[in-house]
Amino acid sequence: MLLLMQPTSTLARFLPYQLSLASNAVSGRIAMEYRQRWGLSIPEWRVMAVLGDAGALTQRDLTKRTLMDKVAVNRACKVLEERGLAQRRPNEQDGRSHLLDLSEDGVAMHSEILPLALEMERKLFAGFSPEELDLFRSLLQKARHQAEDLSEASFTGGYGIR
């Protein structure tokens, strides 16, 4: 039996690193399910989930909402379109962009996946009390807002060092 020792390094206690490990573990587990059942990558599912929640959006809006790289969003959108799960239409507000929305097949797949996603969330966090889950969600939201609010000058002491 292999015993894993708890690391005592600074990195092991570095919260952004711990958050990244937890995120990768959870996303990886969920991604395996999406890939096996529906042939979807994490970016493809994230785009579908946002479109299912928000409706038609531009790729720029999808990039902002998913916090994914624009290349990853572009690839995911292209795959979803090729599979007939999403469709583009002209953006009447801005003639230079298009809106992407789930197609009828995309809506049907989204409605199949969502209950599984919620069940996986339930299983992943079964050891948490409702109060702990509320606190966890609140702390994650607070951390995200803090990250969004930080300016580059905060890290450089205002000296523009990169």
How far is CA 92 from each of CA 81, 96, 99, 132, rounded to the nearest angstrom?
20, 9, 9, 44
All domains of the chain in start order, with CATH: 28-148 (1.10.10.10)
Q: Which residue has the tokens 């299983």?
A: 123
pLDDT of residue 2: 53
Question: pLDDT tens digit string along 63-84?
Answer: 999 999 999 999 999 999 999 9
Determine what percent of the chain is predicted with pLDDT higher than 70. 88
* Cα dihedral sign, 41-44-48-51: positive
Average pLDDT for 37-62? 94
